[in-house]
Structure 1
Amino acid sequence: MNAVDYQVLKSTINWLQQGKRVALVTVVRNWGSAPRPLGSLFAISSAGDFTGSVSGGCIEDDLLQRFSSAFPDKIEVVRYGISAEEMLRFGLPCGGTLELVVEPFTDASTLTPLLTAVAGHRLVQRHLNLKTAEVQITAAKADFTLRFNHDEQKSELIQVFGPHWRLLIIGAGQVSEYLAQMAPALDFSVYLNDPREEQRRNWQGDEVEWLEGMPDDAVLAFEPDQRTVIVALSHDPKVDDMALMEALKTDAFYVGAIGSIASTEARKTRLLMLDVTREQVDRLHAPIGLPIFSRSPAEIAVSVLAELVALRNRDVAKSAGNAFASSCVLTPRT
């Protein structure tokens, strides 16, 4: 869950605690080109407060106008962009269509445990029965973001909240500090390993979860999966190579290392002598980050995150391509 959606939940609870009613709006389906991804949140209070986004602004304006005259008192499913006139009116690009679930609240009892879990970096699943408004919150895995079923047999919205991706940083330098600061806003929980006591003692970054032990042991204990990113940023081959030696053998989504082209070639040669196969070495992203002519630690962190987001979104688009073809069956509006 990104920082914007976390703020939507936090604001929703604050408004409810002030005695206001709140409508929480969630993007549950989209067809064609959509301005916001599935699961995006937008909240409106009965006093006219609002936060979050489900489009470029026009749909939010329409929702504000609708709710100013009649604030919702039950769960609704709303669709925008069905007709050419609506697409033109709301500025939906390329024939896009959005389907939204509007969920009214009068108290924060079902949302407070959710926010507490997310603040504690725990991944949780919220199951909403659209017919009864019954809610269940349970532990979750990061294998999906949202599931929505709305027909005669079943009417439910299942969302996963919390950081869906894990970022393991090897090396506690300045680039790591900026990376640890920026990554949570992009749906990463951040972990750090550095066996050098002086580096850990001088860490100036935000709070992260430290992993004990040598880098190779830390990687193995971390059990990387397909939603794990591992970046080696220590500039010390004795530290970075130990981590990469194990990381490249795992299912990690991305394994990268900082350094120049020349140092990268030297690193690959060393790794081949450490029981790492050529195929595994070829998985290494190095030099790390997009080529944005970055020089400062903050710029390098931006380039790294830009590459991670680009690769992540590319894979999401690939996996969603076939799914859209089979799921574009419009259901009756309720």
Structure 2
Amino acid sequence: MDSIDLEVLKTCAAWLAAGHRCQLVTVIRTWGSSPRPVGATLAICDDGRVIGSVSGGCIEDDLIERVRKEGIVRGLPEVVSYGISADEAHRFGLPCGGTIELALEPLGPRSRIDELLQRLAAHELVARTLDLRSGEVRLERARPGAVLERSGELLVTQHGPRWRLLIIGAGQLSRMLAQIASAMDYHVTVCDPREEYRAGWPLPEVPLVHAMPDDLVQEMRLDTRSAVVALTHDPKLDDLALMEALKSDAFYVGAIGSRANNAKRRERLLQFDLSEAQIARLHGPIGLYIGSKTPPEIAISILAEMTAVKNGVPEILRLNHATALDTPASPACPR
């Protein structure tokens, strides 16, 4: 499963390869409330097909209607704004006072979409610089944590996995978590040294590394844009990953299991060279409480908690006193 950003780019490449004209629409600035964040993308084909989103729907409808009436005739990028007046904000479904600024870019060979996709396939984080005057594009390796920037007539957008997720264990829950996280712009790596999991991993786009978890955690040099989730239920594997991950800068470290099992895990971790403050960073039982019981539901609960932590939502608002995996009836979480 691709992220929305990657899906839009792949669709653009397919349209161009089939001989269609298309344009890429990017949110480059917002004022007040807006339905979609800066960096959100939409692509429109010359036959009216569309993928992606830049608003709640009304702006998309207007852009599509323009293409159907006029075609894609512009040869150079254009910057447009919606919602400047109260009437426009109401017409285009923007919240009261909301304004959104978009870059409309007609795509062609100089857009370097194919080259960008090749670099993204190699898991590279790429900065794409568009000259709004000429339409010329430059591709460079992006720095971690970079965001969309506009400097004069240069628009720099970031593409590729902006976050990393290391999953310990290659079971059914891990597969669900890897698929959904990939769509959320995570570069996912799964670690499982157990022989019986070597042949059964069904996601070729997500690497399965057969290494000891603590060695891989050290090798990955986890930073503040990294997360680690331990899902094997095997202390010999989960604890190895956790004792290194909790010493790293990872923004999220979590482990599956009941409250009782996680209490025992914390006692075991204290026997290693971990401080109480480091162990307090452990999220376990893992996930936000949403009444989940199936692997897909549990994966969503885990990613919901990860997203809340990533976005700085206070713990008291996450309601993580009752967690998604702290229910005796859950068949996906054996005790």
- TM-score after normalising by structure 2: 0.88
Question: Relative to structure 2, which stretch is displaced further, 37-46 or 193-202?
Answer: 193-202
Q: Is the 8 A contact 1:212 1:218 kept in 2?
A: no
Q: Is the 8 A contact 1:127 1:158 kept in 2?
A: yes
Structure 1 residues 294 and 216, CA, compared in 2 at 3 Å: closer, same or farther?
Answer: same
Q: Is the 8 A contact 2:164 2:187 kept in 1?
A: yes
> What is the Cα-based RMSD across aligned positions, in Å?
1.9
Match of 1:308 in 2: 306
Question: One-letter code of the match for 1:251?
Answer: D
Match of 2:130 in 1: 128
* Length, aligned pairs only: 311
Q: Match of 1:95, SS? A: coil
Is it true that 1:177 corresponds to 2:175 in the alignment?
yes
Tell me which of 145, 148, 158 is aligned to 1:146: 148
Which deviations, in whole Å up to 9, do the C-alpha atoms of 1:141-180 show, x marking residues without a partner? 331231122xxxx211111111111110111222112112
Match of 2:40 in 1: 40
Q: Equivalences for 1:1-334 in 2 at 5 Å?
A: 3-70=3-70, 71=72, 72-107=74-109, 110-149=112-151, 154-314=152-312
Question: Relative to structure 2, which stretch is displaced further, 19-28 or 230-239?
Answer: 19-28
Q: Is the 8 A contact 1:127 1:156 kept in 2?
A: yes
Q: Is the 8 A contact 2:43 2:50 kept in 1?
A: yes
Question: Relative to structure 2, which stretch is displaced further, 32-41 or 139-148?
Answer: 139-148
- Unmatched tracts of structure 1, length 5 or more: 316-334
Q: How far 1:253 moved relative to its partner?
A: 1.0
Higher RCO (CA < 8 A, seq sep 6+):
1
Question: One-letter code of the match for 2:227?
Answer: V
Question: One-letter code of the match for 1:128?
Answer: L
Q: How far 1:287 moved relative to its partner?
A: 0.6
Structure 1 residues 128 and 251, CA, compared in 2 at 3 Å: closer, same or farther?
Answer: same
CA distance in 1, matches of 2:29, 2:104: 13
Question: One-letter code of the match for 1:237?
Answer: P
Q: How far 1:109 moved relative to its partner?
A: 5.8
Q: Which has the higher helix share?
A: 1
Q: Is the 8 A contact 1:180 1:206 kept in 2?
A: no
- TM-score after normalising by structure 1: 0.88
